[in-house]
Copies of this chain bind each other. A is one copy, B any other.
Amino acid sequence: QIISEKLGKSSRTVDTELESQIDLLRDVQRKYLHILRLSRALSSHFHHVVTTQQGLGEAFADLAQKSPELQSEFLCNAETQRSLSRHGEILMAALDFFVSSVNTLVNKTMEDTLLTVKRYEAARIEYDAYRSDLEIVLQSPASGQANTLADAQLAYDEHKTEFEKLRADVSVKLRFLNENRVKVMHKQLLLFHNAVSAYFSGNQTALEATLKQFNIKMKTGNIAPSSWLEQ
Protein backbone atom coordinates (compact mmCIF):
# COMPACT_ATOMS: atom_id res chain seq x y z
CA GLN A 1 0.00 0.00 0.00
CA ILE A 2 2.85 2.41 0.91
CA ILE A 3 4.49 1.77 -2.46
CA SER A 4 1.30 2.18 -4.49
CA GLU A 5 0.58 5.40 -2.55
CA LYS A 6 4.03 6.68 -3.43
CA LEU A 7 3.52 5.74 -7.05
CA GLY A 8 0.22 7.63 -6.97
CA LYS A 9 -1.70 4.44 -7.79
CA SER A 10 -3.92 4.52 -4.74
CA SER A 11 -5.31 7.23 -2.49
CA ARG A 12 -4.67 7.63 1.27
CA THR A 13 -7.11 8.60 3.95
CA VAL A 14 -6.00 11.94 5.38
CA ASP A 15 -7.10 13.48 8.68
CA THR A 16 -5.49 16.89 8.30
CA GLU A 17 -6.18 18.08 11.84
CA LEU A 18 -4.97 14.91 13.56
CA GLU A 19 -1.87 14.71 11.39
CA SER A 20 -0.88 18.29 12.11
CA GLN A 21 -1.32 17.55 15.83
CA ILE A 22 0.96 14.54 15.46
CA ASP A 23 3.57 16.59 13.59
CA LEU A 24 3.38 19.19 16.32
CA LEU A 25 3.95 16.55 19.01
CA ARG A 26 7.03 15.23 17.19
CA ASP A 27 8.35 18.78 16.89
CA VAL A 28 7.72 19.50 20.59
CA GLN A 29 9.38 16.23 21.58
CA ARG A 30 12.48 17.15 19.52
CA LYS A 31 12.66 20.63 21.10
CA TYR A 32 12.19 19.31 24.63
CA LEU A 33 14.86 16.68 24.00
CA HIS A 34 17.24 19.55 23.21
CA ILE A 35 16.31 21.25 26.52
CA LEU A 36 16.80 17.91 28.27
CA ARG A 37 20.27 17.42 26.78
CA LEU A 38 21.31 20.96 27.70
CA SER A 39 19.99 20.76 31.25
CA ARG A 40 21.71 17.40 31.73
CA ALA A 41 24.94 19.00 30.53
CA LEU A 42 24.38 21.95 32.86
CA SER A 43 23.78 19.61 35.77
CA SER A 44 26.96 17.66 34.99
CA HIS A 45 29.18 20.74 34.54
CA PHE A 46 27.66 22.35 37.60
CA HIS A 47 28.34 19.20 39.62
CA HIS A 48 32.04 19.55 38.69
CA VAL A 49 31.98 23.22 39.70
CA VAL A 50 30.50 22.35 43.11
CA THR A 51 33.03 19.58 43.73
CA THR A 52 35.91 21.88 42.76
CA GLN A 53 34.56 24.61 45.04
CA GLN A 54 34.53 22.06 47.85
CA GLY A 55 38.20 21.24 47.12
CA LEU A 56 39.12 24.92 46.95
CA GLY A 57 37.33 25.54 50.24
CA GLU A 58 39.49 22.90 51.91
CA ALA A 59 42.72 24.07 50.23
CA PHE A 60 42.10 27.71 51.23
CA ALA A 61 41.25 26.67 54.81
CA ASP A 62 44.47 24.66 55.01
CA LEU A 63 46.51 27.63 53.76
CA ALA A 64 44.71 30.01 56.14
CA GLN A 65 45.93 27.87 59.04
CA LYS A 66 49.49 27.75 57.76
CA SER A 67 49.93 31.32 56.41
CA PRO A 68 49.63 33.92 59.17
CA GLU A 69 50.71 36.57 56.61
CA LEU A 70 47.63 35.92 54.43
CA GLN A 71 45.31 34.36 56.98
CA SER A 72 42.29 36.64 56.52
CA GLU A 73 42.51 36.50 52.70
CA PHE A 74 42.61 32.69 52.67
CA LEU A 75 39.90 32.47 55.32
CA CYS A 76 37.46 34.70 53.38
CA ASN A 77 37.93 32.57 50.28
CA ALA A 78 37.63 29.31 52.22
CA GLU A 79 34.31 30.42 53.67
CA THR A 80 32.95 31.63 50.32
CA GLN A 81 33.89 28.43 48.49
CA ARG A 82 32.53 26.20 51.24
CA SER A 83 29.27 28.06 51.39
CA LEU A 84 28.94 28.05 47.57
CA SER A 85 29.51 24.31 47.41
CA ARG A 86 26.91 23.71 50.15
CA HIS A 87 24.32 25.85 48.37
CA GLY A 88 25.38 24.31 45.06
CA GLU A 89 24.36 20.89 46.32
CA ILE A 90 20.87 22.25 46.95
CA LEU A 91 20.69 23.67 43.42
CA MET A 92 21.94 20.29 42.11
CA ALA A 93 18.92 18.63 43.75
CA ALA A 94 16.61 21.07 41.93
CA LEU A 95 18.42 20.57 38.58
CA ASP A 96 18.27 16.79 38.97
CA PHE A 97 14.54 16.96 39.70
CA PHE A 98 14.00 19.10 36.59
CA VAL A 99 16.05 16.73 34.43
CA SER A 100 14.27 13.66 35.78
CA SER A 101 10.78 15.16 35.28
CA VAL A 102 11.48 16.39 31.73
CA ASN A 103 13.03 13.01 30.96
CA THR A 104 9.84 11.23 32.06
CA LEU A 105 7.71 13.61 30.00
CA VAL A 106 9.81 13.33 26.84
CA ASN A 107 10.97 9.72 26.95
CA LYS A 108 8.02 8.01 28.68
CA THR A 109 4.77 10.01 28.38
CA MET A 110 5.37 11.37 24.87
CA GLU A 111 6.83 8.06 23.71
CA ASP A 112 3.74 6.22 24.92
CA THR A 113 1.46 8.45 22.81
CA LEU A 114 3.82 8.18 19.84
CA LEU A 115 3.58 4.39 20.10
CA THR A 116 -0.20 4.66 19.70
CA VAL A 117 0.42 7.04 16.79
CA LYS A 118 2.59 4.40 15.12
CA ARG A 119 -0.10 1.76 15.57
CA TYR A 120 -2.65 4.23 14.17
CA GLU A 121 -0.45 4.90 11.15
CA ALA A 122 -0.06 1.17 10.51
CA ALA A 123 -3.83 0.67 10.81
CA ARG A 124 -4.39 3.55 8.40
CA ILE A 125 -2.16 1.86 5.79
CA GLU A 126 -3.94 -1.48 6.21
CA TYR A 127 -7.34 0.16 6.06
CA ASP A 128 -6.45 2.02 2.86
CA ALA A 129 -5.14 -1.20 1.31
CA TYR A 130 -8.40 -3.06 1.98
CA ARG A 131 -10.33 -0.01 0.77
CA SER A 132 -8.39 -0.10 -2.53
CA ASP A 133 -9.04 -3.84 -2.84
CA LEU A 134 -12.77 -3.34 -2.34
CA GLU A 135 -12.82 -0.55 -4.95
CA ILE A 136 -11.03 -2.78 -7.45
CA VAL A 137 -13.47 -5.64 -6.83
CA LEU A 138 -16.46 -3.29 -7.19
CA GLN A 139 -15.14 -1.88 -10.48
CA SER A 140 -13.96 -5.16 -12.02
CA PRO A 141 -16.14 -6.77 -14.70
CA ALA A 142 -16.08 -10.02 -12.76
CA SER A 143 -17.90 -8.39 -9.88
CA GLY A 144 -20.59 -10.98 -10.26
CA GLN A 145 -18.61 -13.27 -7.92
CA ALA A 146 -20.53 -12.66 -4.75
CA ASN A 147 -17.96 -14.43 -2.49
CA THR A 148 -15.07 -12.18 -3.53
CA LEU A 149 -17.15 -9.11 -2.96
CA ALA A 150 -18.38 -10.29 0.45
CA ASP A 151 -14.79 -11.15 1.57
CA ALA A 152 -13.47 -7.79 0.44
CA GLN A 153 -16.35 -6.02 2.16
CA LEU A 154 -15.78 -7.93 5.42
CA ALA A 155 -12.03 -7.23 5.45
CA TYR A 156 -12.72 -3.58 4.68
CA ASP A 157 -15.27 -3.30 7.52
CA GLU A 158 -12.96 -4.95 10.05
CA HIS A 159 -10.01 -2.71 9.24
CA LYS A 160 -12.20 0.37 9.11
CA THR A 161 -13.35 -0.35 12.70
CA GLU A 162 -9.75 -0.95 13.88
CA PHE A 163 -8.54 2.22 12.13
CA GLU A 164 -11.33 4.36 13.58
CA LYS A 165 -10.77 2.96 17.07
CA LEU A 166 -7.06 3.84 16.91
CA ARG A 167 -7.81 7.25 15.43
CA ALA A 168 -10.07 7.94 18.41
CA ASP A 169 -7.38 6.61 20.80
CA VAL A 170 -4.74 8.88 19.30
CA SER A 171 -7.04 11.85 19.45
CA VAL A 172 -7.82 11.28 23.14
CA LYS A 173 -4.18 10.58 24.04
CA LEU A 174 -3.01 13.71 22.23
CA ARG A 175 -5.49 15.83 24.17
CA PHE A 176 -4.51 14.33 27.54
CA LEU A 177 -0.81 14.50 26.70
CA ASN A 178 -1.10 18.14 25.80
CA GLU A 179 -2.83 18.98 29.08
CA ASN A 180 -0.29 16.93 31.00
CA ARG A 181 2.65 18.49 29.13
CA VAL A 182 1.50 22.05 29.87
CA LYS A 183 0.94 21.20 33.55
CA VAL A 184 4.30 19.44 33.97
CA MET A 185 6.29 22.06 32.07
CA HIS A 186 4.58 24.94 33.85
CA LYS A 187 5.65 23.44 37.17
CA GLN A 188 9.16 22.45 36.05
CA LEU A 189 9.95 25.75 34.35
CA LEU A 190 8.81 27.60 37.46
CA LEU A 191 10.99 25.39 39.65
CA PHE A 192 13.97 25.75 37.31
CA HIS A 193 13.64 29.52 37.20
CA ASN A 194 13.07 29.98 40.93
CA ALA A 195 15.90 27.65 41.98
CA VAL A 196 18.42 29.08 39.48
CA SER A 197 17.48 32.69 40.31
CA ALA A 198 17.66 32.07 44.04
CA TYR A 199 21.04 30.33 43.84
CA PHE A 200 22.67 32.85 41.51
CA SER A 201 21.47 35.78 43.58
CA GLY A 202 22.88 34.19 46.72
CA ASN A 203 19.41 33.89 48.23
CA GLN A 204 19.80 30.74 50.29
CA THR A 205 16.42 31.17 52.00
CA ALA A 206 14.56 31.41 48.68
CA LEU A 207 16.51 28.42 47.34
CA GLU A 208 15.52 26.27 50.29
CA ALA A 209 11.92 27.52 50.10
CA THR A 210 11.79 26.55 46.41
CA LEU A 211 12.89 23.00 47.16
CA LYS A 212 10.34 22.76 49.93
CA GLN A 213 7.61 24.19 47.66
CA PHE A 214 8.30 21.53 45.03
CA ASN A 215 8.77 18.85 47.66
CA ILE A 216 12.30 17.98 46.55
CA LYS A 217 14.35 15.91 48.97
CA MET A 218 18.10 16.35 49.18
CA LYS A 219 20.16 13.20 48.72
CA THR A 220 21.97 12.35 51.93
CA GLY A 221 25.74 11.95 51.80
CA ASN A 222 28.17 14.35 50.26
CA ILE A 223 29.38 14.44 46.70
CA ALA A 224 32.68 12.67 46.15
CA PRO A 225 35.43 15.21 46.86
CA SER A 226 37.71 13.99 44.10
CA SER A 227 35.35 13.51 41.17
CA TRP A 228 36.59 16.64 39.40
CA LEU A 229 39.88 14.83 38.95
CA GLU A 230 38.25 12.06 36.97
CA GLN A 231 37.62 14.11 33.86
Contacts and interface: CB of A to CB of B under 8 A. Distances in A.
Contacts of A201: 201-202
B193 A77 contact: yes
B197 A200 contact: no
Chain A interface, >50% SS class:
helix
A62 interface: yes
B76 A193 contact: yes
A2 interface: no
Nearest to A87: B200
Interface in A108-158: none
Closest 9 CB pairs of A and B: A201-B202, A73-B189, A45-B48, A42-B52, A45-B49, A38-B56, A41-B52, A76-B193, A77-B193
Given A31-B63, A42-B56, A202-B202, 16 more contacts: A35-B56, A38-B59, A39-B56, A41-B231, A42-B49, A42-B53, A45-B49, A69-B182, A70-B185, A73-B186, A73-B193, A76-B193, A77-B193, A80-B200, A84-B200, A200-B202
